[in-house]
């Protein structure tokens, strides 16, 4: 070994980085960029100004650039090293969720869960999803098929603390995502069926208590029930009625880009965020909506494939956590726009406008890429 190729040398680092990039799942990157591209186009259509200004699409491009940098940075680090900073990660996650409840936080649409920094809003509840994935994956690493009660208890404490803090922000959608992430990791970690049944039953019971105890505001309760009984609360169901109308009017090929009346005249509230799917369905029709769902499905397939190739249980569980996070986002968001699920404010991954959501999703992809890049022990 020459000095130029010794570990720590510039040439060695360059060769190491090239090898890591070669091991990345580039098909996953292409699929993600495809979804982001369609999303940015839809955001532009929904928010562009009459004089052709880019609206919120320009901000989304800034978020994308930052998210891609973080995705690559996370991918280049061996995922095993993230276990070394678990205490710091846990403290930082909790601290951010607590801080946003103080005067440092800002209330947006009834949810006190945002930091406003230099004109950009950041939502700690989104980034906490990544912290939860890493923490739970670490708890159950190496215990497949033999999940002990202490580990289950520890995972429930982590899940409970994060969920309680987010509920204090009046953010119900993120709690659903947290629970789905935990369920996915529990299933793959090998939790016995009796524990799973007990936990699901307990979760339903806890939610029932929360729903009837006054913890949730009246408008939040209306949103969660309006999809079942539209006639009982016309105000709460307005978003979904307009959403279904927009989707149905798109037909096979849509009204044409920038030509959808529901989109261009703003009949659907929050159309660039929670209801972005309606923009695609109205203006690009079944073909465009199907393309978005196909991309989401293929992204999940690639993540599942990387989980299968992981060198250890920690890597596999990280991928499962990201898989579960994205899956519930897609199912809930699309179901919400079609009035099959309650309105919870969960964005469509890579498509909806929002820096916190997009960056969190890209960091999740970075974790998956780290598992792919370092799937062999001793990988450079």
> Do the domain assignments include residue 380?
no
User: Would you state the torsion angle of the CA atoms of residues 328, 236, 270, 33, taken in this order, to the nearest 10 degrees?
Assistant: 20
> Do the domain assignments include residue 156?
yes
pTM above 0.75, yes or no: yes
Q: Report which of 319, 375, 312 is spatially closest to residue 24, judged by C-alpha positions.
A: 375
Tell me, what's the pLDDT at 221?
61
- 161 within 8 A of 96, measured Cβ to Cβ: no
Dihedral of CA 217/334/315/364: which sign?
negative
- pLDDT mean across residues, the chain: 86
pLDDT single digits (tens) 347-367:
999 999 999 999 999 999 999
CA 88 to CA 99: how far, in whole Å? 16
> Do the domain assignments include residue 2?
no
Tell me, what's the pLDDT at 158?
95
Tell me, what's the pLDDT at 119?
75
> Do the domain assignments include residue 122?
yes
> Do the domain assignments include residue 379?
no
pLDDT single digits (tens) 286-323:
999 999 999 999 999 999 999 999 999 999 999 999 99
Q: How many domains does the chain have?
A: 1
Tell me, what's the pLDDT at 11?
57
Dihedral of CA 349/350/354/357: which sign?
positive
> Do the domain assignments include residue 201?
yes
Strand, coil or helix: 81: helix
Phi, psi of 108 (to 5 degrees): -130, 120
Ranges of the chain whose pLDDT falls below 50: 3, 378-380
Tell me, what's the pLDDT at 380?
39
Ramachandran area for residue 354 (φ above 0: left; ψ -120 to 50: alpha; else beta): left
> Do the domain assignments include residue 116?
yes
Q: Which two tokens stand for residue 212?
A: 């009837």
User: Would you state the torsion angle of the CA atoms of residues 204, 318, 360, 127, taken in this order, to the nearest 10 degrees?
Assistant: 60
Tell me, what's the pLDDT at 378?
45
Q: What is the DSSP letter of 341?
A: S
pLDDT single digits (tens) 259-275:
999 888 888 888 999 99
Q: Give me the domain span that covers residue 191.
A: 7-373
> Do the domain assignments include residue 54?
yes
């Amino acid at each position: 070994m020459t000095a130029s190729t010794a570990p720590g040398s510039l040439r060695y680092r360059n060769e190491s980085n090239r090898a890591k990039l070669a091991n990345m799942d580039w098909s996953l990157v292409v699929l993600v960029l495809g979804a982001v591209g369609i999303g940015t186009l839809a955001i532009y259509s929904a928010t562009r100004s009459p004089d052709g200004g880019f609206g919120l699409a320009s901000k989304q491009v800034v978020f994308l650039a930052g998210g891609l940098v973080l995705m690559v940075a996370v991918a280049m680090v061996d995922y095993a090293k993230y276990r070394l900073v678990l205490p710091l990660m846990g403290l930082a996650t909790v601290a951010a969720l607590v801080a946003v409840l103080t005067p440092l936080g800002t209330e947006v649409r009834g949810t006190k869960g945002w930091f406003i920094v230099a004109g950009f809003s950041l939502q700690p509840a989104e980034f906490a999803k990544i912290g939860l994935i890493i923490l739970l994956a670490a708890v159950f690493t190496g215990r497949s098929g033999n999940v002990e009660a202490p580990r289950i208890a520890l995972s429930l404490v982590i899940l409970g603390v994060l969920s309680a803090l987010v509920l204090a922000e009046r953010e119900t959608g993120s709690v659903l995502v947290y629970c789905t992430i935990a369920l996915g990791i529990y299933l793959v970690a090998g939790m016995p069926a009796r524990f799973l049944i007990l936990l699901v039953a307990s979760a339903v019971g806890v939610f029932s208590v929360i729903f009837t105890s006054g913890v949730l505001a009246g408008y939040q309760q209306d949103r969660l029930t309006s999809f079942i009984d539209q006639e009982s609360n016309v105000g709460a169901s307005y978003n979904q009625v307009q959403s279904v109308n927009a989707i149905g009017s798109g037909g096979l090929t849509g009204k044409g880009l920038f030509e959808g009346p529901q989109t261009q005249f703003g009949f659907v509230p929050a159309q660039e965020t929670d209801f972005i799917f309606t923009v695609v369905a109205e203006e690009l029709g079944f073909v465009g909506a199907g393309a978005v769902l196909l991309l989401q499905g293929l992204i999940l397939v690639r993540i599942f494939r990387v989980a299968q190739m992981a060198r250890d249980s920690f890597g596999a569980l990280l991928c499962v956590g990201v898989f579960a996070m994205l899956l519930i986002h897609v199912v809930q968001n699309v179901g919400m726009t079609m009035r099959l699920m309650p309105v919870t404010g969960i964005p469509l991954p890579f498509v909806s406008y929002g820096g916190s959501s997009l960056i969190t999703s890209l960091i999740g992809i970075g974790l998956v890429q780290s598992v792919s890049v370092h799937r062999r022990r001793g990988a450079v």
